[in-house]
Chains A and B, each alone.
Chain A
Amino acid sequence: MADGTALTLAHARHLLRRTGFGASQAEAQEFLADHPTRGDAANALLAFKPAGFKAGGRDFDAIHDKWIKYMLKAKAPLQEKLVLFWHDHFATGISKVFDARMMANQNKLFRLNCRGNFKALVKAVNKDPAMMEYLDTPRNHAEIPNENYARELLELFTLGVKDSAGQDNYLQEDVAQIARAFSGWTYDKAAYLRDYDHDFSDDWSDRGLPVGSPTPPGNKRVFVVKGGFGGGGRDFAVNGEGEAEIDAVIDIVFEHADSQGENTVARRTARRLIEYFAHPDPSLSFIDQVVSASSFDVAFDLTPLLHAIFVHDDFYLTAGPPVGAATRKSVRWPVDYVVGSLRLLKMKPKGKYQYIDGGSYNRVVDQLSNMGQLVFDPPSVFGWDWETSWVSSATMLARYSFARDLIAARGGGSSSFRPEKLVDLGLTDPSAIVTAATDTLGMTGDLTAGEAATLVAYLTDNGANPSLDLNDYDTRNRKLHGLFALLMQMPAYQLQ
C-alpha cells in the first residue's frame, strides 16, 4: 500500500477496467507510460473536474439514453462509475418519482458531489426532490409520521442494519425519532423545475427547497442504546428546529460508533466502495487501512478515500485471470458490459433511438432492461443486487444476444462492427488472431491455455483450416466476427 509502488501493465489494465469501462492492451500501455506508479495513476484518475448533466429531454428514454451517451463518450470514466455507484447507493427510481427532470437533477447532484464530501452529499440528498418523492418525505407529518426515508437513511445510506461484527446499529425507536425530524418537509415543485431547460450551470440546489411547515418544536433523542453515545443518547433539536435540525441528524449519524468503537459510516461507506471498485468480501483490515490512510472517519472526503483504495495492495488481488476458489473476481454490471464493449469495439449505437445495428436490432435501453439494469429505474430502494445476482439464464441470454448483435452489425459506418479497425487483417496464424482479439477487448492474460486452444480450434474448425485469410469477406465475417462474439459471451469477459 504505497503511492510509490510501480504499476505493472496487468495492474494498469485492472485499474482502468475497475475505475472505467475497460482498456485495450494498447491503451493500458499508454496509460502506464504516463503514470508509472500507483500514486501517479490514482492522482490522474481522480483529477477530473466534476461536470454536470444536460439531460436534453423530459422523459425517461431521453435521460436514460443521454446518460449512456455520457458514459460512451466519457473522458473521465471514473466520474460515470462514481455517479453510477451513488445512484445505486441512494437508489431512486422514476417509476415512483414520475418526473424525468427531477431524476436528471438528482443525477447532476451526484455528478457534482461524486468525489467530494460524503457528509455534504448525504445532507444534499435529504433535500433532493427526487429522493423526497421516492421515500415519501412530503407525506411525513408530525401527527402522522411516515418512516420511509428515516429508515432507509440509516439502513442503506449511512449505517447499515448491522455492523462488521453482526451487531445491530440502531433500533426501531431511532427510526421513529429521526422520522420526526423530517416531518413537515416538502418542496416547491414549480419553483424547483422553473429553469429546468436552460439553467444548468448555476447552483440550483437551494431553489424551492425545502419548504413547508417544519416539524413542530420539541426535543428528539436518538441512539440511546446503540451508537456509542452513552445512556443519554443524543438530542438533535438543540441547534434549533427546521433545516438546522435535519442537518444535525446527519452530523449525529456520522458520529455513530459500531460495537467495536469504530466510525460506522466510515467503515460501511469504505466497504461498499471497495466492494464496488475492488472485490466482494473485502477483509476488515483492507477497509480499516483505507479509512485510516485517508482520515475518512474524521473528514469524510471521498477523494482521499478513493485514492487509498486505488493504491492498496488488496485492490490488485484480483488483477489476474479468474483462477482458483480463493479469488474474488467481481461480476461486471450490465451497464459496464454494454458501455465497455461498445467503447472497446469503437462502436456507437445508431440513431435517435440508440439501437444496435445488427441481430435483434434492439435498442440499448431494451438490451439493458433484459440484462436487469435500467439506470434511473432501479428495482427498489436497495438498488441492484450485485455479483452473481446479475447472472441468470435470462440475463445471460441478454448478454449473449448483445454480443451477437454487435458482431452482426454490418450496416456500415460507426454503428457497425469493423474489426479491420481493431485487428490487423494480415494476421493468418490463429493464435495470433486470438491474441489480437483479446488485446482489443482488454482480456490479455485472462484466458487459460485451454480456453485459448478452444478458440484456435474454433477458428480453424479443429485444424481443418490451419491458416486464415481475414481479408476474405466470408472468412472474416464468419470466424473473426464469431471469435469476438465468443469472447464477449465467455465467462471470463463477465468478470473483472
Chain B
Amino acid sequence: MAISRRQFLKRGGLATAGTLLGPGLFGHGLRRAHAALEDNDRYFVVIFLDGGNDGLNTVIPADDIAGLRTAYNAVRDNINITPAELTNSLIGFDPISGTQLGIHPGFNVPGGFFENGAGAGGLKALYDLGKVAVVQGCGYPEYSLSHEEARVIWQTGVPLVASGGTGWIGRHLAAQYAGNQIPAVNIDDSVVGEFRQTGTSVLAVRDLERFDFPFDDDYSDDDAAKTAAFGLLNQSAVTGAQPAALFIGNTGIATYDATAAYQSLSGLYDTDRGAYAQLYSDVGRSLANDLREVARVIYGVEQGVPNVNARFFQLSNGGYDTHSDQGGAQENGQHFSLHAELGAALKVFYDDLASMPGNVANRVCVLVWSEFSRRIPQNENGTDHGSQGPMFVIGGGVQGGVYGNHPNIEESALDDEGNTVYTQDANDFRSTDFRDVYGTVLKHWVNLPVGPGPGTVQGILPLDSTVEAVSDPAHYWRSADFDLGFLP
C-alpha cells in the first residue's frame, strides 16, 4: 500500500525511496464545496505591467470628433502617436464621446519584428478576433504616485487602507482551497501580492525545467534518508509557530512536494507541443518565456498529470517606468518594444491554447494591469507617474470591445499634478473602478456569488464604506458594478 509522503512525515518512520517519491503526495486535500474555476474547467492568468504603463499612449484617440485628439496633441509632442500611425491599429469607439480609438502601433507587431514572424499581429489580431476587452480609465480614489503603494493597492484591492494585507486573489484562495493544495502558480522568485495570504500554498517557479530537488548525486542511496530528515526538520519549524520559521517550513514541504509533480511538465509540453514552444522562444523576451511556463502547467493539468491542479497564474513584465526615452510609434522606441512584446507573447499564448485539445483558449481568461498610468503632459521625452489607465481582459470567453470611458485629458480637467481625475459621477468621463473589473472576473469567470459574506465577491472586494467624506460620494467607490459586460 502506498503511503503519502505527508503521512510518512507525520509518522516519522521508515519508507523506501519509491514510496517517498511516488504519486499522491498532496492531491487529497478537502475541497470546499462552492464555486470554483475547477467547476467550469477554467483558468485565470494575471499579467502585471511593472513600472506604470502610459495609458494615454496605449489607447489613443484617433479622431477629434469630441476634441480628444486636440487635447492629446496639446500634451504629447515628441512621443505623439499620429492618426496616420494608428491606421493599422484602430479598435472600437469610446462609448460615450464616440471618438475612434487606436491601440499603440506596437500592438500590431510587424511580421519581421520577432524571429520567424512569431506573434505577428499581436494584440490587434486578437482584438479583431473579438477576444480582447479594452477597459478604459481604470483607477481608484485618492490615487498614489508611489510605485510601491500603488502596486500594493492594486494587488490587495483595498485602496484606502494604509498598506500590506492579503491579495485579492489570495483571499479567494484561502477561502476555497485546503492548505496542502497548490491552486496558484506565479512565475517569479517570490509569491506575488495578488496571491498573498496565509492559508494555501502558492508555488513560485521561475523555470519548470530546473524544478527538481537537489540531492547529492554521488550518494543517491542516501536520498530517502535525507528526504525523511528534510521533511521532519520543516515539519518541526511549522509546529514551532515562530512566524518566519513556519513560513519557511511550509514552503519547504510544499516545494519538495511540487518538485516531484511539476518537473515533468516541461518535457511533456516540449515533446507534444514543440512548434509552439519554439514560437515563445522566437519572441525571445522574458514575458514570452514566462507565458510558456504557464502554458506548460495548463497543458499538464489538461493532460491529467497527477497532482498538478493549478488554476490561477501570475506573471509580470518590467520596464514600463518610462520617465525618459519612451519613444513614439518608432519600432526602436521603448514603449513600442514593450507593447510589441506583450502583444506577440499573448498572441502566441492564445494560439497555443486554442490548438490544444479541448479548445483551452475558451477556458483561459487573462487580465492585464499596471500600478498606474502616467502624467498626461509629457516631460522631455518620457512621462512621470500618473493616475488612471486602461486594462485588458483577453480570452476565448471574453466579449471583445471597448469598455469604460476614456479619461478626460483636457488640460482644464486635469488636477494640479496634471493627472486625470477619478470620479464615479455619471457624466461622460465616469471612471472605471478597478475593483469593478476584478469583481466582474470574480463573478462571471470564477463564478462566485455576489455576496455579501466570506468567499463572495463583496467579501473579497469591500466598498469604500469607511470613508468619512460622505459629502462627496462621487469620489469613492460606494456602489459595485460587477457586470461591466466583458464576460457573459
CB-defined interface of A446-471 with B at 8 Å, one 1/0 digit per residue? Answer: 00101100110110011000000000
A144 to B217 CA separation, bound complex (whole angstroms):
60
Interface status of A393 (Cβ within 8 A of chain B): yes
Q: How far is the CA of A415 from the CA of B381 in the complex (A)?
A: 50
Nearest-CB residue, chain A, relative to B255: A393
In the complex, A214 has a CB within 8 A of chain B:
no
Query: Smallest Cβ distance from B5 to chain A, in angstroms?
Result: 16
CB distance from B101 to the nearest CB of A (A): 27
Closest Cβ of chain A to B206, distance in Å, is: 5
Closest residue of chain B to A369 (Cβ to Cβ) is B189
Q: Which residues of A, 120-170, contact B by the 8 Å Cβ criterion?
A: 136, 139-141, 144-148, 151, 155, 161-162, 166
Asked, given contacts A451-B233, A454-B229, whether A491 binds B245 with beta carbons under 8 Å apart, the answer is yes
Contact with A along B50-72 (1 / 0, CB 8 A): 10000000000000000000000
Q: Which residues of A contact B416 (CB under 8 A)?
A: 172-173
CA distance A422 to B12 in the complex (A): 30
| Alpha-carbon separation in the docked complex, A400 to B190 (Å) | 16
Contact with B along A412-451 (1 / 0, CB 8 A): 0000000000000000000000000000000000001011
Residues of A within 8 A of B (CB-CB), count: 78
- Once the chains are docked, how many angstroms separate the CA of A360 from the CA of B254? 22
Q: How many A-B residue pairs have CB under 8 A?
A: 202
Q: Does A485 belong to the interface (CB within 8 Å)?
A: yes
A51 at the interface (CB under 8 A from B): no
Within 8 A of B (CB), among A344-385: 359-360, 370-372, 380-382, 385
B245 touches A401 (CB 8 A): no
A490 within 8 A of B: yes
Cα A495 to Cα B146 in complex, Å, equals: 31
Question: Is there contact, CB below 8 Å, between A448 and B241?
Answer: no
Kindly list chain B residues whose C-beta atoms are within 8 Å of the C-beta of A492: 233, 237, 245
The answer, yes or no, to whether B203 is at the interface (CB within 8 Å) is: yes
CA distance A389 to B229 in the complex (A): 25
Q: Chain B, 203-245, contact with A by CB distance < 8 Å: what is the 0/1 string?
A: 1111000010111111101100110111011101100111111
For residue A141, which residues in chain B have a CB less than 8 angstroms away from its CB? 379-380
Question: Complex formed: what's the CA distance from A322 to B232 in Å?
Answer: 16
Q: Is the CB of A477 within 8 A of B242?
A: no
Distance in Å from the Cβ of A431 to the closest Cβ of chain B? 15
Q: When the two chains form their complex, are residues B385 and A147 in contact, meaning their CB atoms are under 8 A apart? A: yes
Docked pose: A409 CA to B204 CA in angstroms:
28
Tell me if A146 and B234 are in contact (CB < 8 A): no
Taking the closest CB of chain A, its distance from the CB of B31, in whole angstroms, is 22
Further contacts, 5 of them, CB under 8 A, given A390-B190, A478-B219, A490-B237: A139-B382, A155-B146, A166-B162, A322-B245, A450-B232
List 7 A-B residue pairs with CB atoms under 8 Å apart, sorted by A's residue number: A139-B323, A146-B382, A324-B242, A359-B214, A394-B204, A400-B255, A461-B225
Chain B residues close to A by CB (< 8 Å): 12, 14, 50, 145-149, 162, 188-191, 203-206, 211, 213-219, 221-222, 225-226, 228-230, 232-234, 236-237, 240-245, 247-249, 251-252, 254-255, 258-259, 318, 323-324, 378-382, 384-385, 416-417
